[in-house]
């Protein structure tokens, strides 16, 4: 049990020797260290799950997830260990504000992949609807890209067929006029009117030849147009088939699905909000505990050690300044004044 406590002391970034000299602080820093340790564990799990959804490889996800957890653990450890207890609470609070903001950001980053895991079933259902919407939109986009060319070709084909029909109607009309002229039911109303019949028959034959030429040309164009239509249909069918093979279930798609769920389902929004608040509370707990707790023996020991180091450092600086003044005492007036001003300003900055 003692080794576990010492391990959590290490996680809190505290000095074990100082805590051994102040037993009343041992449990507090063990609790802070445990919070930091388990936050790192949660971060590793969250990072591993997020990376697995990207790489779909257990080894890569595990390795990078552990690395992410260690980074968050080290960052939390630094945030807590860098805080110092002061005599005025508001001075401590102002100093802790950047650390609290950083802790909140870390909590939000850690929480997001875990949210995806917690609401996985709901997200999977929403992803199905999203995939159908995306598929329908992409299909419409592909059809809209090919439809104008197809409609243009179909309209041209209709025009070509109408030309043939009009020419056929004109030929049939001229044939009828020639036939009526031949049997006396039309035209001059005289049976066997040879010259007029031959003229009308020639007109009908001429239009018939034109019809055959038009039919031959238009049918060739129709065949080419139909080939183009088949090509467009094949290209469109292949692109549509390729769309159906794609499934959108990556990290970005899951985040979007979760966002849609929180917008449309108030219960999921509240659950998501409480989940985020829980991790914000966990992540900021070490900072807040350090902030609201009174200055204890550990802080006094740490302050004394640090004050002794600063005093010793000031003593060294003062001695160096004194030796410098002695060496520069024989300088001329302006140079000596310049050195004295620089040494005084250096002392003020310490």
21-41 pLDDT, tens per residue? 677 677 777 777 888 888 888
Give the per-residue pLDDT at 11. 79
Q: Is residue 333 part of a domain?
A: yes
Residue 302 has pLDDT above 70, yes or no: no
In the predicted model, what is the mean pLDDT of the chain? 75
The CB density around residue 214, as the number of other CB atoms within 10 Å, is 17
Range of the domain at 320: 296-350
What Å distances lie between residue 239 and 134, 145, 148, 152, 200, CA to CA? 14, 11, 17, 21, 57
The CB density around residue 326, as the number of other CB atoms within 10 Å, is 9
Q: Is residue 38 part of a domain?
A: yes
CA atoms within 13 A on the CB side of 67: 7
Q: Is residue 126 part of a domain?
A: no
- Are the CB atoms for 31 and 4 separated by under 8 Å? no
Q: Indicate the pLDDT class of residue 331, thresholds 50, 70 and 90.
A: low
Q: Is residue 173 part of a domain?
A: yes
Same domain (yes/no): 176, 114? no
**pTM (two decimals):** 0.53
Q: Is residue 189 part of a domain?
A: yes
Same domain (yes/no): 244, 140? yes
Backbone dihedral angles phi then psi of residue 150, each to the nearest 5 degrees: -65, -40
Same domain (yes/no): 34, 105? yes
Domain count, the chain: 3
Q: Is 8 exposed, middle or buried (0-12, 13-18, 19+ CB in 10 A)?
A: buried
| pLDDT tens digits, 216-264 | 887 788 788 888 788 877 877 787 777 765 567 777 788 888 888 888 8
Q: Is residue 100 part of a domain?
A: yes
Same domain (yes/no): 50, 157? no
Same domain (yes/no): 114, 7? yes
Same domain (yes/no): 282, 304? no
Query: Span 274-286, mean pLDDT?
Result: 80
| pLDDT tens digits, 75-130 | 878 877 777 666 666 766 777 777 778 778 877 777 777 788 788 888 888 888 88
Q: Is residue 202 part of a domain?
A: yes
Same domain (yes/no): 148, 217? yes
Q: Is residue 128 part of a domain?
A: no
Residue 347 has pLDDT above 70, yes or no: no
């Amino acid at each position: 049990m003692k080794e576990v406590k010492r391990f959590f002391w290490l996680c809190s970034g505290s000095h074990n020797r100082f805590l051994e000299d102040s037993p009343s602080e041992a449990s507090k820093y063990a609790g802070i260290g445990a919070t930091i340790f388990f936050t790192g564990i949660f971060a590793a799990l969250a990072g591993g799950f997020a990376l697995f959804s990207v790489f779909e490889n257990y080894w890569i996800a595990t390795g990078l997830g552990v690395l992410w957890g260690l980074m968050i653990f080290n960052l939390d450890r630094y945030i807590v260990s860098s805080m110092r207890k002061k005599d005025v609470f508001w001075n401590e609070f102002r100093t802790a504000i950047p650390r609290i903001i950083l802790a909140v950001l870390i909590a939000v980053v850690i929480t997001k992949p875990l949210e995806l895991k917690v609401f996985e079933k709901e997200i999977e259902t929403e992803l199905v609807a999203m995939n159908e919407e995306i598929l329908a939109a992409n299909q419409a986009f592909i059809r809209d890209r090919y439809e104008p060319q197809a409609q243009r070709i179909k309209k041209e084909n209709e025009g070509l067929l109408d030309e043939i029909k009009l020419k056929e109607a004109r030929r049939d009309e001229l044939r009828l006029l020639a036939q009526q002229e031949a049997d006396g039911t039309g035209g001059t109303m005289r049976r066997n009117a040879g010259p007029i019949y031959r003229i009308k028959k020639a007109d009908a034959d001429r239009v018939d030849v034109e019809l055959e030429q038009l039919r031959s040309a238009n049918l060739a164009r129709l065949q080419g147009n139909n080939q183009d239509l088949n090509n467009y249909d094949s290209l469109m069918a292949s692109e549509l088939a390729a769309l159906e093979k794609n499934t959108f279930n990556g990290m970005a798609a899951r985040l979007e699905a979760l966002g849609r769920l929180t917008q449309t389902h108030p219960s999921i929004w509240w659950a998501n909000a409480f989940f985020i608040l829980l991790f914000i509370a966990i992540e900021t707990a070490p900072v807040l505990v350090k902030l609201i707790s009174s200055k204890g023996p550990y802080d006094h020991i740490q302050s004394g050690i640090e004050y002794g180091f600063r005093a010793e450092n000031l003593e060294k600086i003062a001695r160096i300044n004194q030796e410098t003044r002695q060496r520069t005492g024989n300088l001329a007036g302006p140079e000596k004044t310049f050195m004295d001003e620089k040494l005084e300003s250096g002392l003020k900055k310490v």
